[in-house]
Amino acid sequence: MTTVQTESLPLVFHHRSPQFSYTLTDWLQTRFQLLEPDDPNFPNLSHSVRALAVAGPSPLTAENIRQFPSLELVVCGGVGVDHVDLAECKRRGVKVTNAGDAFTADVADYAVGLLIDVWRRVSAADRFVRAGLWPVHEIFPLASKLGGKHVGIVGLGRIGFEVAKRLEAFGCEIAYNSRRKRTQVPYSYYANVSDLATNSDALIVCCASTKETYHLINKDVLTALGKNGVVINVGRGALVDEKELVKFLVQGEIGGAGLDVYENEPHVPEELFGLDNVVLSNHTAVCTPESMAALKSVVIGNLEAFFANKPLLSQIVIE
Amino acid sequence: MTTVQTESLPLVFHHRSPQFSYTLTDWLQTRFQLLEPDDPNFPNLSHSVRALAVAGPSPLTAENIRQFPSLELVVCGGVGVDHVDLAECKRRGVKVTNAGDAFTADVADYAVGLLIDVWRRVSAADRFVRAGLWPVHEIFPLASKLGGKHVGIVGLGRIGFEVAKRLEAFGCEIAYNSRRKRTQVPYSYYANVSDLATNSDALIVCCASTKETYHLINKDVLTALGKNGVVINVGRGALVDEKELVKFLVQGEIGGAGLDVYENEPHVPEELFGLDNVVLSNHTAVCTPESMAALKSVVIGNLEAFFANKPLLSQIVIE
């Protein structure tokens, strides 16, 4: 066992909620003097903490932040930072970083995977075969072709761009909704999500989860999407009014859904378990060894940049 | 009901095996005088039959072909024509057409869907969630990233090209094996499938099924592919030595498989039903309404072109 003289290293508080098993200890302990929440020295050291690393989706409240009068930096391990009180960070002048591009490609790949799965009925076919039904029922419902379909990207950020790039290779027509129209983008822009839904065969939800985007995909949007429309959500559960979505799916008022995130994880509405036009996954779009390695790099990189007075790698703009 | 005076229409024999429910009757009966196998006039009309339409994968043997001394054309409804005795057609100078490009995009989409599903564990996640395991087991195995992976395409025909195009958008590195090296193709060529397998993280099998390609993916190729390698088969079951594949999967000697076709359909080896690194579907890669409409066009188009002495739309080269 190697003993590390952590006292000479920069001090970082490891913020983590006991409800999650996420931990950054292995990644950070040899590079920083890591102050854990249950450290008996916490009262002596908290006033000196300038940087804080947040494990997974552990909520970071204004009250948490007030424990650190010298705080200047909050390093997060996700793309979304809706678990952090950004208003308090802004008020205090605390900078916040996220996972940057660590997850971008994997989430985009997964979104496309979910869309192909729903439209081409891949998981449904797998279930059909494993249940031994193929030799019994010769008829299996026709799927939907990807080429020529209109796909609406809700939130044309890094992930949205990568989703669009991939779906173009399948011959899909791309349009998007975003807070503002992007310049130099070849895709049609809709200022209103309902208008985008009206003109889309599927919506890919991959925008940031904020107060403004809470339940962005609501009853009106689902109605506009229509009976054959598909919802893919790889953003956050809060972006979709889940009760309405379940109702629309159960009543056959939309065509299908591919969901990696939910409003109350790990709870998934059981009404969906019997539906063949739905693909359900466990917030796993980012879970590859390559993503984890990239996340480790960006978390450590942001902390090292901060302590070296260099530009942060993935600072977010708090609006 | 409209009565069609079929006697004035060109005569087409509708070849179909009683073991399949496939039929071309609806598509052809208003455009041609359709001679069915059980027609009492068969003995009087068979000698005049110049064109024959084959429903689904109904085997067309040399003996079948000999019933039609005036035969000039066999119109097939699939991409693969391994159910037709091509040697006999060649000997008799009978031309053969296939589905042309009707299925190309859908099969390519499905191959990519199966690959994403295996690598990103989409169906496995869906099973995990539906079984109610997410709240119980917090840990779900990491998946594999697509970007940077080496994908070997076995058979760079129309479907193979479309698979390559799609996977490039995910950042995969493409190589291929084919009977001969293609000019003006940016992908690495391997004359030997084992060499391709050695240098690939996944093989996408989408070549024609012929005597030469029977069990092309055998024990040696699977060994070369290695413990993390994945096999996707959207071609024909006969292209893969299924017994060996099952053995390799059960023993963990390859990384996974996505299979839409099997050696003895609709039989699927039950040893695979318990494996999470395998995605199984029921020869459904071509089954979209758009594919079916495109197939109808090409089947009718070939027959109409033949009777009008125009060039066929999708004649295959018999080697």
- Whether residue B269 sits in one domain with residue B152: yes
A54 inside domain: yes
| Helices marked H in B156-271 | 158-169, 193-198, 219-225, 242-250
- Whether residue A270 sits in one domain with residue A131: yes
Mutate to test the interface with A, among B145, B162, B232, B259 (most CBs of A within 10 A): B145
- Whether residue B85 sits in one domain with residue B113: no
Report the pLDDT value the prediction gives residue B4, as an integer from 0 to 100.
53
Q: Do B105 and A146 touch (CB under 8 A)?
A: yes
Is B18 in CB contact (< 8 Å) with chain A?
no
- Whether residue A237 sits in one domain with residue A300: no
Which residues of A carry out catalysis? 236, 265, 283
Q: Do A122 and B288 touch (CB under 8 A)?
A: no
Q: How far apart are CA B89 and CA B96, in angstroms?
A: 8
- Whether residue B133 sits in one domain with residue B52: no
Q: Searching chain A, which residue's CA lies closest to the CA of residue B116?
A: A113
- Whether residue B124 sits in one domain with residue B87: no
- Whether residue A265 sits in one domain with residue A162: yes
- Whether residue B302 sits in one domain with residue B209: no
- Whether residue B48 sits in one domain with residue B34: yes
Q: How far apart are CA B261 and CA B239, in angstroms?
A: 9
A20 inside domain: yes
B31 counts as catalytic: no
Reduce the secondary structure of chain B to three states and give it as a string. Answer: CCCCCHHHCCEEEEECCCCCCCCCHHHHCCCCEEECCCCCCHHHHHHHCCEEEECCCCCECHHHHHCCCCCCEEEECCCCCCCECHHHHHHHCCEEECCCCCCHHHHHHHHHHHHHHHHHCHHHHHHHHHCCCCCCCCCCCCCCCCCCCEEEEECCCHHHHHHHHHHHHCCCEEEEECCCCCCCCCCEECCCHHHHHHCCCEEEECCCCCCCCCCCECHHHHHHHCCCCEEEECCCHHHECHHHHHHHHHCCCCCEEEECCCCECCECCHHHCCCCCEEECCCCCCCCHHHHHHHHHHHHHHHHHHHCCCCCCCECCCC
A316 inside domain: no
pLDDT digits (tens, 9 = 90+) for B48-63: 999 999 998 899 999 9
A317 inside domain: no
Answer for the pair A81, A104: CB distance below 8 angstroms, yes or no: no
Q: Which amino acid is at B296?
A: K
Smallest CA–CA separation between A294 and chain B, in Å?
Answer: 12
Report the pLDDT value the prediction gives residue A305, as an integer from 0 to 100.
98
A1 inside domain: no
The enclosing domain of A169 has a CATH number of 3.40.50.720
A318 inside domain: no
Contacts with A, B 123-182, CB within 8 Å: 123, 125-130, 132, 134-135, 138, 140, 142-148, 165-166, 168-171
Q: Searching chain B, which residue's CA lies closest to the CA of residue A21?
A: B138
Is B23 in CB contact (< 8 Å) with chain A?
no
B313 inside domain: no
Q: Which of B57, B72, B80 is nearest to B206 (CA)?
A: B80
Q: How far apart are CA B74 and CA B95, in angstroms?
A: 6
- Whether residue A296 sits in one domain with residue A235: no
Is B287 in CB contact (< 8 Å) with chain A?
yes
DSSP string computed for B166-192 = HHHHTT-EEEEE-SSPPTT--SEE-SS
Per-residue pLDDT of chain A (319 residues; tens, 9 = 90+): 445 566 689 999 999 988 777 889 999 999 999 999 999 999 999 999 999 999 988 999 999 999 999 999 999 998 889 999 999 999 999 999 999 999 999 999 999 999 999 999 999 999 999 999 999 986 788 899 999 999 999 999 999 999 999 999 999 999 999 999 999 999 999 999 999 999 999 999 999 999 999 999 999 999 999 999 999 999 999 999 999 999 999 999 999 999 999 999 999 999 999 999 999 999 999 989 999 999 999 999 999 999 999 999 999 999 8
Which residue matches tokens 């605390």?
A94
pLDDT digits (tens, 9 = 90+) for B290-300: 999 999 999 99
Mutate to test the interface with B, among A234, A284, A286 (most CBs of B within 10 A): A284
Answer for the pair A185, A156: CB distance below 8 angstroms, yes or no: yes
Domain with B11 in it: 6-102+288-307
Structural domain tally of chain A?
2
Is A18 in CB contact (< 8 Å) with chain B?
no
B302 inside domain: yes
- Whether residue B215 sits in one domain with residue B83: no
Reduce the secondary structure of A37-55 to three states and give it as a string. Answer: CCCCCHHHHHHHCCEEEEC
Q: How far apart are the first and last CA of chain B?
A: 46
Contacts of B291 in chain A (CB under 8 A): 145
Phi, psi dihedrals of residue B90, rounded to the nearest 5°: -65, -45
Q: Do B169 and A171 touch (CB under 8 A)?
A: no
- Whether residue A271 sits in one domain with residue A123: yes
ipTM over 0.90: yes
pLDDT digits (tens, 9 = 90+) for B23-82: 899 999 999 999 999 999 999 999 999 999 999 889 999 999 999 999 999 999 988 899
